[in-house]
Amino acid sequence: MTSPFIRRRRLAAELRALREERDLTAENLSGLLHISRMKISKLENAHIRPNLAEIMKILEVLNVTGDKWHEIITIARDAAEKGWWDGYGDAMGSRQRLYADIESGATTVREYNQFTIPGVLQTPEFIEFIIEMAKAEGPIDFVAERLIEARLRRQEHLLGPKGPRYEVILDEVVIRRPTAPPHIMLGQLRSLIEVAERHPRITLYVLPLAADFTGRLLPKSAFFLFDFPDPADPPMTVVDTVSTDIVHIEPDEVMRYNQRYEHLRQVALSAAASLGLLTDTADDLQNGIESKP
């Protein structure tokens, strides 16, 4: 399905442009429609799911007709759709719900992660361990069982016949540094190897510790690049920080992160060499486990 989040962003831009073309402020428009200025603001910033009847009323007030009317209504219908993630509400975590939404309509997802195993590639055991670590930090804003279910559903989409092409660059420290008990980490590494070997649309690269990054700037955080089938839906960058996700659709910002990603790809190991390093790391870990009394 087309990502409702992406279409809400596009609808917001279209509505704002139409209003400004008619030299109306948000305050003016709210007065003509007899609805609050706050609702206009939320629609124009993609913060709420649109109501089709209200969108039709806005288009009527703005004298939008013909092909443009049909285009906006089609976008609004897509923006109002609900996906499987909406059935989970906040139980799956608001950040994970955002990614599930965006991934649903993407043709390509590229990710750089220098700290942990990507969520869509984590094993259930690894997810459970991460959840326990989150609980140890304090109150959590999700339901553990529902979060696990939702993450596995994201994996089903990613690995399914209608999933996007997915590339991920992992810093070598992610696979070398233990972030879970040895048996869980071993299972996670074996799972990464199996996914990369079995799925032609999944490509995994490792950025080696010895990579020469002279003359290039390393990203300061993990980030994602999304491309969509409709040329009118612009590419998007989502930057993953400790407490929130920052969405960029501005061409300059998206280009900046595309350049960072290409710099990483240039110095990362090839897909084959990355699999070899993963296999060696998993074998070393297994040997270490078996050698312990």
Superfamily, domain 4-80: lambda repressor-like DNA-binding domains (1.10.260.40)
In the chain, domain spans: 4-80, 91-291
Residue 293 has pLDDT above 80, yes or no: no
pLDDT one-digit tens code per residue, 30-84? 999 988 999 999 999 999 999 999 999 999 999 999 999 999 999 999 999 999 9
Mean pLDDT, range 159-177, rounded to an integer: 94
Tens digits of per-residue pLDDT, 178-206? 889 999 999 999 999 999 999 999 999 99
Superfamily the domain 91-291 falls into:
Endonuclease Chain A (3.30.870.10)
For 214-272, the pLDDT digits (tens) are 888 888 899 999 999 998 898 999 999 888 899 999 999 999 999 999 999 999 999 99
Report phi then psi at 49, rounded to 5: -75, 130
| 3-class secondary structure, 204 | strand
Do 28 and 71 form a contact (C-beta atoms < 8 A)?
A: no
pTM of structure: 0.91
Residue 183's CB is within 10 A of a number of other CB atoms, namely: 12
3-class secondary structure per residue, 220-281: CCEEEEEECCCCCCCCEEEEECCCCEEEECCHHHHHHHHHHHHHHHHHCCCHHHHHHHHHHH
CA distance 189 to 86: 31
- Asked if 4-80 and 91-291 have one fold, the answer is no
